[in-house]
Amino acid sequence: MFKGKPVKVIITGEAREEFEDLNKVVGEEISKGITKSDHQILLNSIKQKIDF
């Protein structure tokens, strides 16, 4: 909600491709036991802004 109105975030085009690639990289890092990286920090920041 922003100022009492629902908000929908849509990621399209190249941004969507990059977001999906970032998700994949982070998933691979987590499966290797990496718990903190620049990729993970960036993805978490993006997800926080979307949830905001």
In the chain, the largest separation of any two C-alpha atoms, in whole Å, equals 42
Per-residue pLDDT of the chain (52 residues; tens, 9 = 90+): 778 888 888 999 999 999 999 999 999 999 999 999 999 999 999 998 888 7
CA-to-CA distance for 37 and 44, rounded, in angstroms? 11
CA-to-CA distance for 26 and 35, rounded, in angstroms? 9
CA-to-CA distance for 4 and 1, rounded, in angstroms? 5
Check residue 51 and give its pLDDT. Answer: 80
CA-to-CA distance for 51 and 34, rounded, in angstroms? 24
Q: Is the Cα dihedral 38, 16, 24, 51 positive or negative?
A: positive
